[in-house]
Amino acid sequence: DAGITQSPRHKVTETGTPVTLRCHQTENHRYMYWYRQDPGHGLRLIHYSYGVKDTDKGEVSDGYSVSRSKTEDFLLTLESATSSQTSVYFCAISDGLDTDTQYFGPGTRLTVL
């Protein structure tokens, strides 16, 4: 299994509070991604990073920001959580070479009350 951890694994928070999710990798891969998974929608890309301090938006980026100050860490921040952001969040990594296969972390289940 690729060395990807996510923290926390579960979180319950209230509407309007800030939340930060962390993804940590030990594979030294260049690319990192944040997805959210909702019933009937599969996985949808929120943001991705193609290097330290280099990030770009995905298809559902509104209400989210990211930061990557080190190769191994990619943070996802919900500045003011809303109930519509209740979801399971997955981090993924890839090396950008050949098949550029993405490997996924175990996920964070976030509930916004």
Partner 1 sequence: GEDVEQSLFLSVREGDSSVINCTYTDSSSTYLYWYKQEPGAGLQLLTYIFSNMDMKQDQRLTVLLNKKDKHLSLRIADTQTGDSAIYFCAEKGADSSYKLIFGSGTRLLVRP
Our finding on whether 107 is near partner 1 (CB under 8 A) is yes
Ordered strands of the 4-7 beta sheet = 4-7, 19-25, 73-78, 64-70
Q: What gap in Å lies between CA 14 and CA 25, rounded to an integer?
A: 29
Our finding on whether 70 is near partner 1 (CB under 8 A) is no
- Total of chain residues touching partner 1, rule CB under 8 A: 25
The tokens for 65 are 């920001």
Our finding on whether 44 is near partner 1 (CB under 8 A) is yes
Preceding peptide of 18 cis, ω within 30°: no
Pick the binder of partner 1 from 56, 69, 83, 84 (CB under 8 A): 56
- Whose Cβ is closer to partner 1: residue 1's or residue 18's? 1
Pick the binder of partner 1 from 68, 87, 90, 112 (CB under 8 A): 90
The length of the chain is 113
Our finding on whether 3 is near partner 1 (CB under 8 A) is no
Pick the binder of partner 1 from 20, 24, 104, 111 (CB under 8 A): 104
> What residues between 4 and 23 interact with partner 1 by CB under 8 A?
none
- Whose Cβ is closer to partner 1: residue 58's or residue 63's? 58
Burial of 25 (0-12, 13-18, 19+ CB in 10 A): buried
